[in-house]
Structure 1
Amino acid sequence: MTELTAKPDVRPANPNFSSGPCSKRPGWSLDQLAGTPLGRSHRAKPGKAKLAEAIDLTRKVLQVPENYRIGIVPASDTGAVEMALWSLLGARGVDMLAWESFGSGWVTDVIKQLKLDDARVLEAPYGELPDLAAVDFSRDVVFTWNGTTSGVRVPNGDWIPADREGLTICDATSAAFAQDLDFDKLDVVTFSWQKVLGGEAAHGVLILSPRAVERLESYTPSWPLPKIFRLTKGGKLIEGVFRGETINTPSMLCVEDYLDALKWADGLGGLDALRGRADANLKVLSDWVERTDWVDFLAVDPNTMSNTSVCLKVTDAGVRTLSADDQAAFAKGMVSALDAEGVAYDIGAYRDAPSGLRIWAGATIEASDLAALTAWLDWAFQSEKAKLPQAA
């Protein structure tokens, strides 16, 4: 029987490595939310002031251009993306990029729900990107900046021309605050603050360029828009949405929590500091993968490797000879063992992704916790492999 590796002596101080909702910032506690105007209308002065402050701090920390609108919208990043798709698409053809489950979900919405005839799909398998050179920017383009379920991101915005004719609609939910978003190349940006900043779920952020606003005010879709998606009235943008007058009632407790995260990020040094923390976290995992023979990144090209949603695959020859179902069971066994030990929660691969592990490495994670986790990953692998028949 294979000799088992002893349990490591050091445990992560914070075992929360979920890819969403993600870990709270270091030092977070409910006490920091004491200033929340609970029991008050979000349209009263205190509530409106909090929402406006959240928008202003978002602009500062994320380095959003002054002429871009920022709005807080319902239903997390999904709500923000759907609002953009239903409100903006249909004016011209659209190229849909998909290389993981969420991008594929937007494809389904555009083709099966909006039923756009002139929709072209550019796909790639998990771990890779579609051919970015094949994108036609005379059309609208919909893509994720960072594929949360594949750990693959676009390397930069250089592939997007400044003189594009169509709009670029970017789901940036696991990229915002950890990666450089080239706003000059982006007309719509969406994210949820539950990702890199570890905020509470259910709220999305919608960022619009002047070109996107022009489309909204000059184009009316052929389909009816639910009230929750409407961004214009009488052919003009509803400006209040971008001053904190939300379309539906927000949770002021969640807004206060987001403000706490933004102030923490601003105090660290803003976007550069947040990106630096995520990059350092990725390096911890990269160094471990380099010296470990049973694991590799799902991302094929290191230049497209995510520094937030890090996806890993088991490459050990003995495990790779198993059936797909047994490989998935092996990975789930590792995840369960780590959960039972209280050293890592929620690190299984996304349900539609190839079997393996997904470890959040965004800015709220401490590098020391990831370093401690790697030893436990080795322990969990050895423990599961010892259960296989060939281990005898």
Structure 2
Amino acid sequence: MKPNIRPADPNFSSGPCAKRPGWSPEVLSQALLGRSHRSSEGKARLAEVIDRTRTVLKIPEGWRIGITPASDTGAVEMAMWSLLGARGVDMLTWESFGEGWVSDVKSQLKLDDVRVLSAPYGALPDLGQADFSRDVVFVWNGTTSGVRVPNGDWIADDRQGLTICDATSAVFAMKLPWEKLDVVTWSWQKAMGGEGAHGMIVLSPRAVERLESYKPAWPMPKIFRMTKGGKLIEGIFKGETINTPSMLCVEDAIDALKWMESLGGGDAVAKRVEGNLAAIAQWVERTPWVDFLAEVRSTRSSTSVCLKIVDPECAALPTDRQAALTKALSGLLEKERAGYDINGYRDAPPGLRIWAGPTVDTADLEALFPWLDWAFATVKAEQLKKG
């Protein structure tokens, strides 16, 4: 039967993600609108984002934190264009965004010494094969595959190269070993529940040393430049952004960070997310038609949870029919206003993707599960009628 209770917040998109519980436009009433971001007040707001980010995530003092244009994509590209080429590079990939970084390094930067360690959706490459005498580029959490690295134990402490980590769906939700990461990037639109177009970049002292001692062979677009005269532009990491930010989005980011502080900081927020994953795991365990796409329990994402349909009759359908089924299931939930944007990523195997990050309440996930069961039964019957 059709359930009669809907999630209080049915937004389960993997980006932009749900706003924090209790959010309303009123939290933006003090936004510094109509003022320059270069004014003392504007720079103070931007510096507040940086300072609160350091506190919530417990980022070491020696690591610089900056606000970048173009979301996480801009932050990753800024890092790769500015830092790569000094050494050979190992690219780790197991989903679409990692594949995108590989394409940029090979086709745009045209580096000669590139080694790709890859795995299909649902699995990780052999992390033990990463060579830390080289630079290593990887995503911490595969947003489109629901697979994450289990920890940072595989990263060498005595590495000679840099580690460049796209952590956009991991930061604020998973514990990151900052001492092992030389560059970390993310965007406000993911775990913070903020608005799009703004990214963050964190640089270790080793990354700063590379920036000041190495000049890439290619022209550097202004939007990527972090040095001037061979020295780091320190203002970028004090709120003097490279281009004009939205002060409305800045105010929203401050609100999200204050909310995380009210919960107890990054560790408390991560526990909240692990609770969401536990609730999904309990539902999957009792539900015969669905399973995690991640093959190993320790590699299951706690934010972008990707699921595959394992019902024998549906799994036997051709891939296009499976894709039609998951699209119909997602569309039915949207029609019923029970869950939005949960169809799997377009490049991933047919399946579902449910965002379970910090801004999602476990109670809303619990309310979603009966709707998933109902919608699956409904669309399965329709698909099987087609023969």
Aligned-residue RMSD, C-alpha: 0.9
TM-superposed CA distance for 1:290, in Å, is 0.2
In the alignment, what sits opposite 1:183? Answer: 178
Give the alignment of 1:196-207 within 5 angstroms.
196-207=191-202
Secondary structure in 2 matching 1:51 = helix
Q: 2:113 aligns with which of 107, 118, 131?
A: 118
TM-superposed CA distance for 1:390, in Å, is 6.0
Distance 1:74 1:361 in 2: 26
Distance 1:116 1:56 in 2: 36
TM-superposed CA distance for 1:10, in Å, is 1.3
Distance 2:271 2:175 in 1: 11
Please report the TM-score for the alignment, with normalisation by the length of structure 1. 0.98
Once the two structures are superposed, what CA deviation does each residue of 1:233-281 show, in whole Å capped at 9, x if it has no partner? Answer: 0000000000000000000000000000000000110011110111011
1:156 matched to 2:151? The reply is yes
Aligned residue type for 2:374: W
1:130 matched to 2:125? The reply is yes
In the alignment, what sits opposite 2:142? Answer: 147
In the alignment, what sits opposite 2:314? Answer: 319
Distance 1:303 1:387 in 2: 36
Distance 1:371 1:353 in 2: 25
Secondary structure in 2 matching 1:121 = strand
TM-superposed CA distance for 1:391, in Å, is 9.4
Once the two structures are superposed, what CA deviation does each residue of 1:95-116 show, in whole Å capped at 9, x if it has no partner? Answer: 0000000000000000000000
Aligned residue type for 1:386: A
TM-superposed CA distance for 1:63, in Å, is 1.0
Distance 1:180 1:378 in 2: 32
Once the two structures are superposed, what CA deviation does each residue of 1:289-335 show, in whole Å capped at 9, x if it has no partner? Answer: 00000000000000000000000000000001111100100111100
1:249 matched to 2:244? The reply is yes
Distance 1:22 1:360 in 2: 7
Q: 1:363 aligns with which of 348, 354, 358?
A: 358
In the alignment, what sits opposite 2:21? Answer: 26
What residue ranges of structure 2 are gaps of 5+ in the alignment?
A: none
Aligned residue type for 2:127: L
1:293 matched to 2:288? The reply is yes
Q: Is the 8 A contact 1:19 1:309 kept in 2?
A: yes
TM-superposed CA distance for 1:144, in Å, is 0.2
Q: 1:272 aligns with which of 262, 267, 284?
A: 267
1:68 matched to 2:63? The reply is yes
Distance 1:172 1:62 in 2: 13
In the alignment, what sits opposite 1:3? Answer: none
Q: Is the 8 A contact 2:188 2:199 kept in 1?
A: yes
Distance 2:63 2:261 in 1: 20
TM-superposed CA distance for 1:389, in Å, is 3.4
Q: Is the 8 A contact 1:295 1:314 kept in 2?
A: yes
Q: 1:49 aligns with which of 19, 44, 51?
A: 44
Distance 2:383 2:118 in 1: 36
Once the two structures are superposed, what CA deviation does each residue of 1:29-86 show, in whole Å capped at 9, x if it has no partner? Answer: 1101111110000000110000000000000001110000000010000000000000
Q: Is the 8 A contact 1:385 1:391 kept in 2?
A: no
Q: Is the 8 A contact 2:292 2:308 kept in 1?
A: yes
Secondary structure in 1 matching 2:202 = strand
In the alignment, what sits opposite 1:231? Answer: 226
1:374 matched to 2:369? The reply is yes
In the alignment, what sits opposite 2:54? Answer: 59
Distance 1:62 1:128 in 2: 28
1:209 matched to 2:209? The reply is no
